[in-house]
Amino acid sequence: MMTGFAHLGHLIIYLLFIAQPIVGLVMMYYRGNPWFAFGLTMPFAAQSQFELVDTLKGVHSLLANTGYFIIGAHALAALLHHYLWKDNTLLRMMPRKR
């Protein structure tokens, strides 16, 4: 059961790493204003769609808060494994000394 939670947590983290920037890029595009990333002028919509932008802002915030929660739960689980259950889960994640 713990392995299933670990895999689910990792999957959610990876999906958030993909979804969060995509939502942010789409949000910036539909603002209809010129914007820059890495010194490059990025494309923008000819006409602003403020309702869509507001919705995307909400989604962007929700994804960010979900990410904070999942990362915190992930760190807490690692500490529980190490200090409470005293198994070698955390040690297996650490780089090995050579």
Asked if 41 and 60 count as a contact pair (C-beta separation under 8 A), the reply is: no
Per-domain residue ranges of the chain: 2-93
Q: What is the mean pLDDT of residues 44-73?
A: 97
Rounded Cα distance, 37 and 35, in Å: 7
Each residue's pLDDT tens digit, 24-50:
999 999 999 999 999 999 999 999 999
Rounded Cα distance, 57 and 78, in Å: 32
pLDDT of amino acid 62:
98
**One-character DSSP codes across 25-62:** HHHHHHH-S-EEETTEEEP--SS--HHHHHHHHHHHHH
Where does the pLDDT of residue 79 fall: very low under 50, low under 70, confident under 90, or very high at 90 and above?
A: very high
pTM of the model: 0.84
Asked if 35 and 28 count as a contact pair (C-beta separation under 8 A), the reply is: yes
Where does the pLDDT of residue 94 fall: very low under 50, low under 70, confident under 90, or very high at 90 and above?
A: confident
